[in-house]
């Protein structure tokens, strides 16, 4: 019997009001403006799986992540984790229990750590907030255990974030995520601010911890080389929509959407040094005034008249008129 998914995102959209003040609009006779950050996004994440969202900056990846974790409320659609919504019906005992199992690792580890707190206080915060351990001695032992688990020394507990390197700070952020016994972790560009050699260390650490604790990851990245290493399944986003969705190996081996092919063509390939890597042509349009039809058609080499009129639905894992 197939287990139900841990995370189910169904038809989620998020709009932001970016209008000028009311009086200014009245004087200038201007209409309200809405930024369409995410439009009709749906996907599932199975237990123990790494699901990645990729795309250029401005494609809506982080907005989706913040809706999944409950930091943003969807304009429409639903996000359910183990069948429970964090946004429907307000705060309940059930949602409080669910929040203990969810954590987010942010892009900049220094910005996500309180510079005034010692590392022991930072890691112990979720333990105290959720009353996971009673005594101070037990909390100190748990902090030491977590530091060793992520490759740091227990003596590091007395140091401040500014005394660590970027990779070490991200290890602290991972230890904080594990402190609450998290089962579902949202990773928002967790290695983009790190050197390449340090990236590999952090990614390998995350893989090891996933195998050890059966963690489920939502992995946000624009780096396809990282996604190839981490993800079981991949969703490619463009201007707020998922344009291709499928198993990672299949997507990298035979991409079907022109945008996915364009992203992959821009990745340097050490195995093919003679290949001329092609840069991604054009820029992502404004989500305030998106082009009609398929949003990718101004940059697409396969675009035809239908692409300029109709938004392609996601069918069999691809949203492209030319691919069918």
The confidence score (pLDDT) of residue 1 equals 46
Question: Is residue 304, in this structure, part of any structural domain at all?
Answer: no
Q: Taking residues 276-285, what's their average pLDDT?
A: 68
Please name the residue that has the structure tokens 């237990």.
47
Q: Answer yes or no: is 199 within a domain.
A: yes
Q: What is the mean pLDDT of the chain?
A: 89
Predicted local distance difference test score (pLDDT) of residue 272: 52
Could you tell me which residue, 192 or 2, shows the higher pLDDT? 192
Facing residues of 218 across strands?
A: 51, 186
Decide if 270 is inside a domain.
no
- In this prediction, residue 199 carries a pLDDT of 87
Nearest to 100 by CA among 9, 189, 178: 178
What is the domain-level CATH number for residue 45?
A: 3.40.50.300
* Tokens encoding 89: 């019906």
The structural domain count of the chain equals 1
Q: What average pLDDT score do residues 35-61 get?
A: 94
Q: Is 299 helix (H, G, I), strand (E, B) or coil?
A: helix
Mean pLDDT within 274-291: 73
CA dist 73 and 67 (Å) reads: 6
| Candidate from 90-94, 282-286, 311-315 with smallest mean pLDDT | 90-94
Residue 43 banded pLDDT, cuts 50, 70, 90: very high
Which pLDDT score, from 0 to 100, does residue 158 have?
94
User: Which among 189, 261, 249, 181 is positioned nearest to 219, based on CA atoms?
Assistant: 189
Q: Could you tell me if residue 273 is inside a domain?
A: no
> Over the stretch 105-137, which tens digit does the pLDDT of each residue have?
988 888 889 999 999 999 999 998 888 888 899
Taking Cα atoms as reference points, which of 303, 226, 311, 313 lies closest to residue 258?
A: 303
- Residue 155: inside a domain: yes
**Domain presence at residue 267:** no
The residue-averaged pLDDT of 228-235 equals: 93
pLDDT at 109: 80
- pLDDT tens track for 61-97: 999 999 998 889 999 999 999 888 877 666 777 777 7
- Residue 319 maps to a domain: no
DSSP class per residue in 11-54: EEEEEEE-PPPHHHHHHHT----EEEEEEEEEEEE-TT-EEEEE
Q: What is the mean pLDDT of residues 314-321?
A: 95
Q: Look at residue 160 and tell me whether its pLDDT is greater than 50.
A: yes
Residue at 269 is within a domain:
no
- Residue 277: pLDDT band by 50, 70, 90 thresholds? low
CB atoms within 10 A of CB 219: 27
**Which run of H or of E encompasses 230?**
helix 224-230
Domain that holds residue 157: 7-236
What band does 49 get if pLDDT is binned at 50, 70 and 90?
Answer: very high
- Least confident window among 10-14, 18-22, 51-55: 18-22
- Percentage of the residues of the chain whose pLDDT score is greater than 70: 94
Q: Has residue 185 got a pLDDT over 60? A: yes
130 or 254: which leads in pLDDT:
254
Here the tokens at position 104 are: 């987010």
Q: Distance between CA 294 and CA 298 in Å, rounded?
A: 9
pTM for the whole thing?
Answer: 0.89
Q: Where are the beta strands (DSSP E) in the chain?
A: 7-17, 34-45, 50-54, 76-81, 84-85, 102-105, 184-188, 216-221, 233-238, 241-247
Note whether 54 and 222 are within 8 A (CB). Answer: yes
């Amino acid at each position: 019997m197939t287990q139900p998914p841990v995370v189910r995102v169904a038809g989620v959209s998020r709009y932001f009001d970016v209008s000028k003040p009311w009086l200014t609009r009245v004087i200038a006779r201007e209409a309200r403006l809405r930024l369409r950050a995410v439009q009709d996004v749906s996907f599932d994440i199975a237990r123990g799986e790494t699901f990645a969202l990729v795309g250029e900056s401005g494609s809506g990846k982080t907005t989706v992540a913040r809706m999944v974790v409950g930091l943003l409320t969807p304009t429409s659609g639903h996000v359910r984790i183990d069948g429970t919504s964090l946004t429907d019906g307000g705060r309940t005992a059930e949602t409080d229990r669910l929040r203990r199992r969810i954590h987010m690792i942010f892009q900049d580890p220094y910005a996500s750590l309180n510079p005034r707190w010692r590392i022991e206080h930072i890691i112990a915060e979720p333990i105290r907030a959720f009353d996971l351990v009673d005594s101070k001695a037990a909390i100190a032992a748990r902090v030491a255990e977590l530091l060793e688990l992520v490759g740091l020394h227990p003596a590091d507990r007395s140091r401040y974030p500014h005394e660590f390197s970027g990779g070490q700070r991200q290890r602290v952020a991972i230890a904080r995520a594990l402190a609450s016994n998290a089962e579902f972790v949202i990773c928002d560009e967790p290695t983009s601010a790190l050197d390449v050699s340090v990236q590999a260390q952090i990614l390998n650490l995350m893989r090891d911890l996933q195998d050890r604790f059966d963690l489920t990851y939502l992995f946000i990245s624009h780096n396809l080389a990282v996604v190839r290493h981490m993800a079981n399944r991949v969703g490619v986003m463009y201007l707020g929509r998922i344009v291709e969705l499928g198993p990672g190996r299949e997507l990298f081996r035979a991409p079907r959407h022109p945008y996915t092919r364009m992203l992959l063509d821009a990745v340097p390939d050490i195995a093919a040094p003679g290949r001329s890597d092609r840069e991604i042509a054009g820029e992502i349009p404004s989500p305030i005034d998106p082009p009609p039809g398929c949003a990718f058609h101004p940059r697409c080499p396969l675009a035809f008249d239908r692409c300029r009129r109709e938004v392609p639905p996601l069918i069999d894992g691809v949203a492209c008129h030319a691919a069918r």
